[in-house]
Amino acid sequence: MALTTGIVGLPNVGKSTLFNAITRAGAESANYPFCTIDPNVGVVDVPDERMDRLAEMIQPQKVIPTSFQFTDIAGLVKGASKGEGLGNQFLSHIREVDAIIHVVRCFEDENITHVSGQVDPVGDMETINLELVLADLESVERRLDRVLRQKKSGDGEAIKEHEVLEKIHQALAEGRPARQLKLEEEELKRIRSLNLLTLKPMLYAVNVSEEDVVNPHENPHVKAVQEQAVSEGAEVVPISAQLEAEIVELEGEERTQFLQDLGLDSSGLDRLVAAAYRLLGLITYFTAGEKEVRAWTIQEGTRAPQAAGVIHSDFERGFIRAEVVAFDDLMQAGSLLAAREQGMLRSEGKEYIVKDGDVIHFRFNV
C-alpha cells in the first residue's frame, strides 16, 4: 500500500523546496504566494536498512522497496475555508490524502518574504488548523441539517449518526480538531463519507536553517512549535529543506560521510518517513528469494492472510500458511536455510498477526 501524505502550510514556508529535495520531481518553487496551484505528486522509495542487509545476504536479481507518496498542496492562507487564495480547491486536495505533514517555517531570512510579514510559527500553525476546522464545521453543519430531518422520521441510523455529528460539531465549534475526540470505529464509519480534514492524522515538519539542523531544539521557534504540538498530541520533525536538496544528490558512502560530517545519523526524509509510519500505524514486512527481495507496507495488527493479500488477492483467498522468520533471527542465523535448520523459521496460520520486520514466504492454493 502506498502511503499518501499531503504537504501543507502557509505560502513561502519551504513546502515546494522540501518536495523538490525529497522527490527530485522538479515542482516549481519561487518566492511568491500560490506558486503551487495544482498539487504536485511525487513517489519516493522508503529507505530501510533492513532491506539492504537482506539483499546483501541473499543477492537477489531485484530489490524492490515500498513507496511513499508526497502531494505538495498549494499554500493555504487565512480565509481559505471561505475560498480565499483558491482555498476551496486546495482544501479538496487535502481530503484525498491519508495524513498531513504541516510544514512550519522556523528560520529567519529577510530575502524570503513571509505572508504575515514576520516569522511566527505558532501563529502559522493556528492559521492553518483554524481553516481546516472551519471547513469541517461547514461540512458537519450541512450534514446535520439533513440527518436531523431523517432523525425526526424515526430512522435509527440517523439517530446514531446525529449523536456522532453533534459530538464533532461541539469540538469544532470550540476550535478543536475532530481527531482529538478519539472516536470509536463504529462512530468513524458513520461519518467516513464526510472525509473530514481534521480527522486526518497530522505531524509538523519544522523547516530550519542548515545551521540549526544538528541542534534544532536550541532554536526558539522550534521550541514554541514543540510546546504547541505537545498540547495537540502531535509529533515534530526538524528538517532543513535546503540541506535535503544537497543530501538527495549524494549516494552511498558519499551520502553517509556527508551526514556524519554534519553530526546526523539520518536524513530528514528518513526521519519524516519514520514519523509518518508511526502516525498511521504502519509496519513493513519482507519477502525474500533469489528473484527479488521486496518490502511491503501494512497496518499494524494485520493478520497473515490479509498481509498476503497486499501482494495479490489470490494469496489471501487461497492462504494455507505463512513461513515466518524475524529479521533479527535471520541476521543471526546468516541465511534462510540456517534459520530453518535452527528452528527460527516458524509456520503460522490464519490468526497470526504480522510483526514489523518479519520475513515471510506465503503458502497458498487457488
Residue 85 has what pLDDT? 43
Which of 175, 193, 211 delimits the end of a domain? 193
Q: Which three cell numbers stand for residue 266?
A: 539520518
Residues 268 and 164 in one domain: no
How would you classify the pairing of strands 202-207 and 99-105?
A: parallel
Residue 56: inside a domain, yes or no?
Answer: no
Residues 310 and 346 in one domain: yes
The single residue listed with the C-alpha cell 498481509 is 307
Q: Residue 328's domain is classified under what CATH number?
A: 3.10.20.30
Residue 304 has what pLDDT? 98
pLDDT tens per residue, range 118-156: 789 999 899 889 888 998 999 999 999 888 888 877 778
Residue 59: inside a domain, yes or no?
Answer: no
Provide the number of structural domains found in the chain: 3
Residue 198 has what pLDDT? 92
Residues 243 and 269 in one domain: yes
Give binding residues as ranges: 12-17
Residue 68 has what pLDDT? 77
CB-based contact 91:80 (threshold 8 Å): yes
- Contacts by 174-180 with C-beta closer than 8 Å and gap 24+? 175/130, 175/133, 176/133, 177/129, 177/132, 177/133, 177/136, 177/202, 177/232, 178/136, 180/232, 180/233
Residue 316: inside a domain, yes or no?
Answer: yes
Residues 321 and 178 in one domain: no
Residue 50: inside a domain, yes or no?
Answer: no
pLDDT tens per residue, range 44-87: 778 788 999 999 999 999 999 988 788 877 655 555 445 444 44
pLDDT tens per residue, range 333-344: 999 999 999 999
| Span of 80-89, 174-183, 237-246, 338-347 with lowest mean pLDDT | 80-89
The single residue listed with the C-alpha cell 492454493 is 365
pLDDT, greater one: 248 or 34: 248
Residue 181: inside a domain, yes or no?
Answer: yes
Give binding residues for ATP as ranges: 12-17
Residues 242 and 126 in one domain: yes
Residues 111 and 158 in one domain: no
User: Which H or E run contains 307?
Assistant: helix 304-311
| Span of 92-101, 193-202, 230-239 with lowest mean pLDDT | 92-101
Residue 115 has what pLDDT? 65
Residues 168 and 228 in one domain: no
Percent of the chain with pLDDT over 90: 49
Question: Does the structure show a pLDDT above 60 at 234?
Answer: yes
Residue 153 is part of which domain span?
137-193
Mean pLDDT of 217-242: 91
Which of 172, 193, 214 delimits the end of a domain? 193
Residue 183: inside a domain, yes or no?
Answer: yes
Residue 84 has what pLDDT? 47
Average pLDDT in the chain: 85
Residue 55: inside a domain, yes or no?
Answer: no
Other C-beta atoms within 10 Å of 325: how many? Answer: 23
Residue 296: inside a domain, yes or no?
Answer: no
Mean pLDDT of 2-6: 75
Percent of the chain with pLDDT over 70: 88
pLDDT tens per residue, range 245-266: 888 888 878 988 988 888 888 8
Residue 105 has what pLDDT? 92
pTM: 0.81
Instruction: Provide the 3-class DSSP secondary structure of residue 327.
Output: helix
